[in-house]
Every structure is written in C-alpha cells, then in structure tokens.
Amino acid sequence: MSVADYTSSRRVRLGGLAVVTLGALAAVAVLVFDVPLERIFTVGFINRTLVGASPIALAAIGGLYAEKSGVFNIGLEGFMIFGAITAAAAMYGMGGTSPSQPHIWLAIAIAVAFTLALTILYAVLLIRYKADQIVAGLAIWFMGLGFAPFAASLLWDTVRSPGLASINNYSVPYLAEIPYLGSIVFNQSPLVVFTLVVVIVSWIFLYRTQYGYWIQAAGDNPKALDTAGVDVNRVRYATVIFSGAMAGLGGAVLLAHAGDFIGTGDTMVDGRGWIAIVAYLFGNYNPIGAALAALLFAGLDMLQIQFQTADITLFGRDISARLMGLAPYVGVIIVLTVWGKTRMPSSVGEPYEKEE
Amino acid sequence: MLDATVYERIGIAVGSTALALLISLVIVAAVGHDPLQFARDLIVGSFGSRRAFSRTLQFTTLFILAGVAVAVAFRAGVFNIGVQGQLIIGGISATLAIIWVAPFLPNGVGGGIALALLGLIAAMVTGGLYAAFPGVLKAYYGANEIITTIMLNFIAIGIVGWAVDGPLRPDDARSVRTDYLPDNVALPQLLFENPNFSIVGLAFALVVAIVISIVMTRTSLGYDMVTSGHQEPAATFSGVASKRMIVTTMTLSGMIAGLVGAIFAIMVQGYFIDPSGIGNYGFDAIAVSLLAANNPLGVVPAALLFGALDSSSSYVQINSGVPVQLIDGIVGLVVLFVAAPELFRMIAKRTGLGGDDR
C-alpha cells in the first residue's frame, strides 16, 4: 500500500469515526436528555460557527505552510493576539469609538502588515540564529499576553477597549430571503467568504504550483531541494513570514467580528491559536482539511450559546455556560489522542545547514 | 541547549535579561514615561523597604517551586506547559482537603500542622495526577504534550472557576472565593511581618529545590529521566522504559506544581479564588526555568529576579504610571532571547567578549 493510500484510508476511517461519534452523541442527547435538536442546529448556529471558524482556519493555514516547509511555528497564538490588538488600535486611531466599515478593512490590513514585520524578526531568530522553535514560539505567546494588554492600558486605561465597530454582513436582495440557504450564503460576513477563498487558493498553491512543491520538499527532503538548486532557507523564510501574517490576519478577523478588544486573562484569542495548530494536524496538513477541523472546533465553541438559548437543562439544572465553553478544549484533547501520530514532514524542527 | 558550558549558560541568562530590560526601557521611553524613574521604581518596589523585600520573597517562594516543576520536565525533554493548571488543581484540592477535615481535628498548633501537611499531600496527589494524564496521552497515544497541557490549563481554570463561583462559594461571600481556611492553618511569622509571607515557606521551597537537584543528578531515577528525554534509543537500549519515564517525569513535575498551589492557598491567600485571577506563576515559571538552563538550583536566583519584577509591578504602576502588563512582556522577551543562544554567541564573537568559551 502506498503512502497516499495509507493516509487516505486512515482519513476515511477517522472521518467515519468522527461522524459515528457525532451521530451517537446526538442520539444520546435526543433520547436520554430530551434535547431539542432542531433548536440546536439553527441557521444562527451555522452562521456563528462559520464566523467562529474563520480566524482559526486562517491561522491554521499559516501554521501548516510553515510546518510543511520544516519549521514548527508554535507562536500562532501570540501572533493572533498581536493581530487582534493591532487591528483594534488601528481602528481606534482612525475612527475613535465609531470607526466606519472602510476603517475596519484598513485596520485588518495594518494588523497584517504589523504582524508580518514582527514575523520577519521571528523568522531571522528561528532560521539564521537557529533559535529553539518551541521556546521561541512560547515566547511570542508570552509577549502577546504581556504587550497586548499593555498597549490596551496605554490607549484606554484598562485592558479592554471600548466598543469599536464590527464588520457588516453583505446582503443580496431577494436571494437573502430564501429560507436557510439565503441567510447563510446571501447574508453573510464578507470575511467568512474571504476565508473560504483563502482556503481554496492556499490548497491550489500548495498542491498545484511549483512553489508549493518546493514548500513540501523543504520539509520532507531539504537535501534534495538543495541539490535541485533551490535555497531551502529562503523557502522557509517565506513560509514562516506567511504563517505569522496569516495568524495576525486571523486575530484581526476575530476582532473585526467581535468589535472590541478584550485583554483580560488569556485575552480574546483564548487558545484559538493552539486550536489552529490542532486543526491542521487533524486536517492532515491539508488546507481544506484544516478548515473543516476549524469548523468542528468552532461548532463546539458555539454550542454553549445554543444550550443557553434553547434552555436545555441537565438533571433539572441549568448547564453552566462556563463549563460548556470548555467543549472545544476537551475536543482538542480527544482529537490529539485519537489522531496523535500524524505524518509530520520528516525534517520539522531541524535547522537546515548547507554543506559547503 | 545541552552543548553549552556553565559560563556560557550564565552569560546567556545575564545577556537575555539585560537585553530584555534594555528593550523595556526603550519602550517605556517611547510611550512617554521616564525610563530612569521606571528603573529606579523597579528596584525600590522590590527591595526598597522591608515590606517590599518580604513581598519579593513571597513571589520568589512560589517561583522557586513552580520553576523547579518546569525544570524537572524540561530537563527530561518533556514540555510541561501545564504547571499553571496543575497548581490550580493542587491549590483547590489543598483548600478543600483542609476545610473538610478541619472539624475532625483539634484546634491548636498540632491540628494546624496536621492540616497543612494534609493540604500539601492532597495538592501533590491531585497535581501529580493532573500532569500524569497528559503524560499518558503523550507516551501511549502520541498526543503533543505542549497542546494538551495548555488545553488542560484552560479546563482547570474553567472548572475550578465555575466551582468557586457555584457549589464551593459560601452564601455570605461577597467576592468569588471558597470558605476561609481555619486560623490555625498558617505558616509561622518569623523575621518578617507580612501576612502573605513566611520564611518557613521560602525554606520549604529551597529544600524542595535541593532535593530535586539531588534526585536529578545523583540518583538513577534522575539519570533515567534525563537520558530517556534526550537520548531515547540509548535509554531504551540500557533497559529504561522510556514511555513509563515520560509519565513518571510528568507526575513528578505535576506534584511539585501542586505544591505551588498549596503554598499559595496556605501561605499567601488563606482561601482559594477564581483561578483566572491568580498570577501566571505557571507561565512565568517557564521563563524562570529556561533562564536557569533547567537546573533546579539555578532556578533559585532566577526566581528571585522574577519575584522582584512581579513584586515591583504595583509600585511601578502607581509611581511611574507604566501599566503593569509591561512586566509580562519583559518575561516574554527574556524567553525569546534565551531561545536563541546563537545570537549571543555571535554578539560575543563580534565584540570579542568571551569568544573562547567554547
């Protein structure tokens, strides 16, 4: 059996397992706890899941590009935090507490530019100075946890921003009124559609272009790529910088949907960067797979709202929103346990040194 | 980072700290505050008075224990990022064990000592178990421990936070907290008059650091842990079950992390609060341990440095108006520079300083 056969059969098997598990859970929910399913899987739920999945999917695609090329960018969470605070600060700088829609788009662009610049420094540390990839990635997270609330305090005197503005949905006349489909496809956040486009383009780029093959070779067989005359470290610089910018974009998109910055505790990013790493592992380093995994985790996250609004009780007691909010984290642990031994590119984590 | 001499490691630690502090001074100046005032406030706020000094030692105590917890794991090549969650679980367990057993024990000093010991044991058991779980997942299922321990941090904060705001919250409590610990459960006040610090707590932390240092360097358990982390084939060849060693390492690390929570509950707080509000000891401890090149004894001076930084933060904010969160940012910078020893080697070579250390 070839490697491709092996991974695809494994994927089918695990995908089947996931579907069966979800089905069983739903059956238990309906039969044992008398949960009204139609009140859980509403149009609102689907839209919230799409919105929630976008930042995770964007960061995950960045992370998988870096890892495909042989660098583990564990700093995704940190770059997301920097993206979110930069977008908030830019929005506030341009439009005060009532920024316009163009201000939001500009703020996202500024956030991407800033995190891109930051990642250049990070990439130099990782590739030129051979910094420990895990420790440096953690450092980016810690810096985000410190500097983002620090910046918020300077701007607004507290670690939370005042209400800024969130992105408006586009709405196609008439079509938006089609039941279900209309309010999902024709009345949607433009950032969700944008994310979808990014997912597809990054899939095509990785699997159908020459540069995409170089990226894969840089992670799986850097020596062969070097022999073929391609500078391995140059490819890695490009993917690491791309990954930081994508995580920054994810953070900015998160902020553009939320409409204000929260810097308490683990900040508003709250583990999404870590979930993004698991999303691309689960998606087997495939952008489309990663996006589907992001949907799964976002869906788990949004369940808490459904349980609240559907007024579901367990043994006669309300289910705590705080406990329900832990579902994505539990989901991540389960996914890693079942799907732990992923087929990592063979040279991940090793600095590449050209032999003279 | 194993291929560095002791001098090189010390050089890297001092260099990283100095560079991080220098950058923070530049940031302070850039946002319109006086960097000299900031630097002076850092020192005055941590060592300037007897009270400030005892507060510094209070943080140092927690950082020594948490730093040793991280060092044990990192030394053995296991990335336990979950010390924060493990100390939360340990802290709440110590608090509950003491509160539940207190009615059955006499009120005096003897009862107090017994309860404190009970709390420490409960914290070690639960903290150890909470760390053993991701250890098992890593060893037998290949689940990346960095991510599972971070997820378990979120889960610990969520569950304990829910519990202290719900079933564990007394009816008359105005803030989110558990019941108070009985009055006789406290460490004795010697030398310093500070209800949140006892020199006995510091001594306890130092003893733990020394014991762990001996275990890691002078016993076969420590040797097996380090070799299975860094040279798995060699360890397996010499008969060490490396999978079991991962679980053992995580358990030991989590037990020490649990102690941080117990000392926090008994010495500092006197009850347990919403864990999203307690300091990031488990994260700062990663910086402490890395700065000490994951050496349990080296953790002590590194913990003093971070204890001083944390201790001065409120003084700094009040006096120089610089938001306290800058301190967390400095921690991140220190970790970033520690990750790149090559950077310092290159600087050393360029400037001709200590270039022949290798």
**What is the arithmetic mean of pLDDT over B20-40?**
92
Q: Is A14 in the B-facing interface, judged by CB distances under 8 Å?
A: no
pLDDT band at A10 (very low <50, low <70, confident <90, very high): low
Q: Give tens-digit pLDDT for A324-349.
A: 888 889 888 888 888 766 556 777 77
Asked if residue A347 is part of any domain, the answer here is no
Q: B341 vs chain A: nearest CA distance in angstroms?
A: 7
* Neighbouring C-alpha atoms within 13 Å toward the C-beta of B246: 24
Q: Residue A174: pLDDT above 80?
A: yes
Share of chain B above pLDDT 90, in %: 46
Number of domains chain A is built from: 1
**What's the confidence (pLDDT) of residue A121?**
94
Asked if residue A8 is part of any domain, the answer here is no
Q: Give tens-digit pLDDT for B248-299.
A: 999 999 999 999 999 999 998 888 988 888 878 998 999 999 999 899 999 9
Q: Residue B6: pLDDT above 90?
A: no
Q: Is B279 in the A-facing interface, judged by CB distances under 8 Å?
A: no
The answer to whether the Cβ–Cβ distance between B333 and A143 falls below 8 Å is yes
What secondary structure, in 3-state letters, does chain A show? CCHHHHHHHHHHHHHHHHHHHHHHHHHHHHHCCCCCHHHCCCHHHHHHHHHHHHHHHHHHHHHHHHHHCCCCCCCHHHHHHHHHHHHHHHHHHHHCCCCCHHHHHHHHHHHHHHHHHHHHHHHHHHHHCCCCHHHHHHHHHHHHHHHHHHHHHHHHCCCECCCCCCCCCEECCCHHHCCCHHHHHCEECHHHHHHHHHHHHHHHHHHHCHHHHHHHHHHHCHHHHHHCCCCHHHHHHHHHHHHHHHHHHHHHHHHHHHCCCECCCCCCCCCHHHHHHHHHHHCCCCHHHHHHHHHHHHHHHHHHHHHHHCCCEECCEECCHHHHCCHHHHHHHHHHHHCCCCCCCCCCCCCCCCCC
Residue of B nearest to A125 (CA): B340
Asked if residue A351 is part of any domain, the answer here is no
Q: Is A146 in the B-facing interface, judged by CB distances under 8 Å?
A: yes
In chain A, which among 103-142 make CB contacts under 8 A with chain B?
125, 129-132, 134-136, 138-142
Q: A132 vs chain B: nearest CA distance in angstroms?
A: 5
Q: B330 vs chain A: nearest CA distance in angstroms?
A: 7
Q: Which residue has the tokens 């953690």?
A: A138
Q: Residue B3: pLDDT above 80?
A: no
**What is the arithmetic mean of pLDDT over B131-146?**
90
**What's the confidence (pLDDT) of residue A343?**
59
Asked if residue A221 is part of any domain, the answer here is yes
**What's the confidence (pLDDT) of residue A36?**
67
Q: What is the mean pLDDT of chain B?
A: 87
pLDDT band at A146 (very low <50, low <70, confident <90, very high): very high
Q: A126 vs chain B: nearest CA distance in angstroms?
A: 8
- Report the candidate in A78, A60, A4, A7 with the shortest Cα–Cα distance to residue A281: A60
**What's the confidence (pLDDT) of residue B207?**
94
Window from A4-13, A171-180, B61-70 with minimum mean pLDDT = A4-13
Cβ contacts below 8 Å, chain A against chain B, sum to: 146
**What's the confidence (pLDDT) of residue A178?**
85
Question: Which CATH number characterizes residue A105's domain?
Answer: 1.10.3470
> What secondary structure does DSSP assign to B70-88, as a single string?
HHHHHHTT----THHHHHH
pTM (2 d.p.): 0.90
Asked if residue A5 is part of any domain, the answer here is no
Q: Residue A20: pLDDT above 70?
A: no
C-beta separation of A96 from A281 below 8 A: no
Asked if residue A330 is part of any domain, the answer here is yes
What angle in degrees, to the nearest 10, is found between the helix axes of B109-141 and A327-338? 50
Residue of A nearest to B279 (CA): A265
Q: A78 vs chain B: nearest CA distance in angstroms?
A: 10
Whole-complex ipTM: 0.89
In chain B, which among 150-189 make CB contacts under 8 A with chain A?
150-152, 154-155, 157-159, 161-162, 165-166
Range of the domain at A253: 33-338
Residue of A nearest to B334 (CA): A139
Q: Residue A273: pLDDT above 50?
A: yes
Residue of B nearest to A277 (CA): B147
The answer to whether the Cβ–Cβ distance between B343 and A129 falls below 8 Å is yes
Q: Is A317 in the B-facing interface, judged by CB distances under 8 Å?
A: no
Residue of B nearest to A126 (CA): B340
pLDDT band at A203 (very low <50, low <70, confident <90, very high): very high
What's the CA angle centered on B11, arms A120 and B296, to 5 degrees? 100
- Count the Cβ atoms, other than its own, within 10 Å of residue B51: 13
Q: B82 vs chain A: nearest CA distance in angstroms?
A: 13
Q: What is the mean pLDDT of chain A?
A: 86
Q: Give tens-digit pLDDT for A75-115.
A: 999 999 999 999 999 999 998 888 999 999 999 999 999 99
> Which are the contacts of A142, defined by CB distance < 8 A and separation ≥ 6?
A78, B283, B286, B287, B328, B329, B331, B332, B335
The answer to whether the Cβ–Cβ distance between B340 and A138 falls below 8 Å is no
Asked if residue A21 is part of any domain, the answer here is no
- Given B155, B276, B328, which is nearest A142 (Cβ)? B328
**What's the confidence (pLDDT) of residue B2?**
47
pLDDT band at A19 (very low <50, low <70, confident <90, very high): low
Residues of chain A contacting B332 with CB distance shorter than 8 Å: 139-147
**What's the confidence (pLDDT) of residue B1?**
45
**What's the confidence (pLDDT) of residue A144?**
96
Residues of chain A contacting B21 with CB distance shorter than 8 Å: none
**What is the arithmetic mean of pLDDT over B181-201?**
80
Distance of CA A272 to the CA centre of its chain: 6
Window from A19-28, A160-169, B13-22, B349-358 with minimum mean pLDDT = B349-358
**What's the confidence (pLDDT) of residue B183?**
79
The answer to whether the Cβ–Cβ distance between B335 and A135 falls below 8 Å is yes
C-beta separation of B178 from B170 below 8 A: yes
Q: Name, of A17-26, A249-258, B144-153, B320-329, the range with top average pLDDT.
A: A249-258
Q: A185 vs chain B: nearest CA distance in angstroms?
A: 33
Asked if residue A348 is part of any domain, the answer here is no
